Structure 1
Amino acid sequence: MGLEGKELEELYLRQYSGAGEEYRLFSTKVNETEYRLTMHYLHRFLKPGDRIIDIGAGCGVYTNALANEGYSIDAIDLHPDNVARMKELFKDAENINVHQANAMDLKEFQDDTYDLVLELGPVYHLHKTPERIAAIKEAVRVAKKGAPIFVAFVLQDAPLIQYIFQHENPAEEIKTIGYERDTARVTDNTGSSIYLDTIPTIDELTELVLKEVPVTKGPRFAQDGLSHVIRDSVNNMSEASYNEWLQYLIATAERADLMGYSNHVVQVFIKK
């Protein structure tokens, strides 16, 4: 993962230019599993009247869903295209405020303000451990005592299987990324600003956060489970079968033996 600084920022801006994030989660059944499982876990914690901050909101998929349920939300993103799109989408929404800001520096937002914090994008666009911890610290700072902070990561193995080993020529395709064959570790996610973690690297970061930030560890859940690994089967399911698949994903979302094959996982922290 050699990119950093200005080079990484420019790659991120190019990658997300066009503000298409509002469609990604609903473009296929597989993508929608990420949304459905995340909403399931959000509803475990939400209470009527809660105030929410959505850090790295993209084009506001979760902001929109939660605002429609009556919650007041501050939606934040770094990318100017995403911010412009949210301002257009939510211009008539009285319970949504849109801001452009960096997840590592939320100085315009006060301490101990929010009942629930979403940080579902920023940390996996940061490649250095101190920067990742800084973003989590800021998310915790603005949270009220007892509030959950949802921090998302992207794992390497489901994308590796989907984009490399399910390719027609994996031996050639794998040369397009940085890859250590002896450890099966992706070292350079070429062409993307996303940092690919493994469960052990998330464990390491989590332990550092627990030492440096006033939080306890809440649940960790897979946002899409094995969906991307068997994407063709999932996308071809009937509605009834898809609902059964969602129930399976919910029932197994916290199982450690399956966690590593999810495309995305969320670690929930609880502010002390």
Structure 2
Amino acid sequence: MNEIERWYDEEYDEWTRLDRHKIEFEITKRYLDETIQGENLEIFDIGGGPGRYSIYLAEKGHKVSLLDLSKRNIEKAKIKAAENGVALKDYIHGNALELAPFQQKFDVILLMGPLYHLVKREERAAAVEGALRLLKRGGLLVASFISSYAPIQDSLKHLDPIEETENILSYLEDGLNQGELGFTTAYFINPLEAKRFMNSFELEEIIFAGIENVLGSRETAINQLDEGQYKKWLDICYRLSRDQNLIGTSEHLLYIGRKNDRRQID
């Protein structure tokens, strides 16, 4: 965790990442708009970085609390929220695996970062279980993953020289990214594994989507199109994002499920 915290505190600007990856941001927002219904909802954005989605949802009138491992991300969120004329309900420097102190129940919980960086299944499960404990019955859990095919798509996008093909294909075997390989420690998951993992909890699947799908490798060119053409390609991407034949072509996977706790422990 110290390595991951340092990565976001000292080396990586998470706020500007979604300026470069507009397709990911826009398609994800469409799904949030489609599934998060109601007004003035209590939302907990766990591992939400500098708050791109927190601020977006706060602008819609929701009460959003943001938790992140990076102090720099938390401070950036405060600045950006003010610039956008909103204030989040709370800004918390914390860990997705240390949710025991929190007791409030939320209508929606976003878990759109921690599952990238928890390399052990039991850690990922603990993060989901911790989030579910804080989620109201009938509430929504939104989770994101990086696909094990993402390194292939990223290499295809940039066409950087490939030293060894196994360096890219190895992610299909174990999904592990070591901290010295261009990104901090991470777990890139097989899409089918991600779907099965989330459906192993007391959740009713609403959405399982491959965010970028066929547009991923042409992202840079698509971002440069005029607004009319850009929106048409975005529509195509959105309509294909739940095509199971194309899920593996995406770099990011999105799961949205409704808490359906038969044990009724709330």
Question: TM-score band (shorter)?
Answer: 0.7 to 0.9
Q: Could you tell me how far apart the structure 2 residues matched to 1:236 and 1:89 are?
A: 25
Contact kept, 8 Å, 2:175 with 2:187, in 1: the verdict is no
Deviation of residue 69 (structure 1)?
Answer: 1.4
Correspondent of 2:33 among 21, 40, 43: 43
Counterpart-to-counterpart distance in 1, 2:32 and 2:190 = 24
Letter in 1 for 2:142: F
Query: Secondary structure, in 3 states, of the residue corresponding to 2:213?
Result: coil
Name 1:55's counterpart in structure 2: 46
Contact 1:34 1:223 in 2 (8 A): yes
Question: Where does residue 9 of structure 2 map in the other structure?
Answer: 17
Equivalents in 2 of 1:63, 1:149: separation in Å?
A: 14
Q: Secondary structure at the match of 1:133?
A: helix
Check 1:236–1:270 CA distance in 2 against 1; reply closer, same or farther (3 A cut). same
Q: Secondary structure at the match of 1:169?
A: coil
- Answering whether residue 137 of structure 2 is matched by residue 145 of structure 1, we say yes
Letter of the 2:186 counterpart: I
SS in 1 for 2:29: helix
Q: Which residue of 2 aligns with 1:78?
A: 69
How far does residue 88 in structure 1 lie from its aligned partner after superposition? 3.8
**Distance (whole Å) between structure 2 residues aligned to residue 128 and residue 184 of structure 1:** 16
Between the two structures, name the one with larger relative contact order (CA 8 Å, sep ≥ 6).
1
Aligned residue runs from structure 1 range 106-255, under 5 A:
106-110=99-103, 113-163=105-155, 167-170=159-162, 172-174=163-165, 177=167, 179-180=169-170, 184-185=172-173, 187-190=175-178, 191=181, 192=183, 193-207=185-199, 209-210=200-201, 214-255=202-243
Q: Which residue of the partner structure matches residue 3 of structure 1? A: none
Contact kept, 8 Å, 1:116 with 1:149, in 2: the verdict is yes
1:153-191 Cα offsets, whole Å, 9 max, x none, are 001223223226853432x1546x3744xx953644242
- In the TM superposition, residue 240 of structure 1 has moved relative to its aligned partner by 1.1
Deviations 1:33-72 (A, max 9, x none): 1111111111122211211111111000011111111111
| Pairing of 1:256-271 with structure 2 (within 5 A) | 256-271=244-259
Aligned to 2:263: none
The answer for unaligned runs of 5 or more in structure 1 is: 1-8
Shift of 1:215: 2.1
- The 1-side partners of 2:25 and 2:73 are apart by 18
Question: Do 1:179 and 1:187's aligned partners in 2 also have CA atoms closer than 8 Å?
Answer: no
SS at match of 2:250: coil
- Aligned to 1:105, which of 98, 101, 126? 98
Consecutive unaligned residues in structure 2, runs of 5 or more: 261-266
User: Number of residue pairs matched?
Assistant: 252
Conservation of the 8 A alpha-carbon contact between 1:167 and 1:173: no
Q: Name the CA distance, whole Å, in 2 between partners of 1:107 and 1:97.
A: 17
What secondary structure sits across from 1:16 in the alignment?
Answer: helix
Q: Displacement of 1:141 after TM fit?
A: 1.1
Q: Distance in 1 between matches of 2:120 and 2:207?
A: 24
The whole-number CA distance in structure 2 between the counterparts of 1:184 and 1:137 is 26
- Determine helix, strand or coil for the equivalent of 1:145: strand
Choose the corresponding residue for 1:65, options 43, 56, 61. 56
Counterparts of 1:237 and 1:119 in 2: how far apart (Å)?
31
CA deviations on 1:83-111 (whole Å, 9 max, x unpaired) are 23223444684443101121122123215
Deviation larger for 93-102 or 137-146: 93-102
Letter in 1 for 2:124: R
Distance across 2 between alignment mates of 1:69 and 1:140? 24
Please give the alpha-carbon distance, in whole angstroms, between the structure 1 residues aligned to 2:78 and 2:87. 12
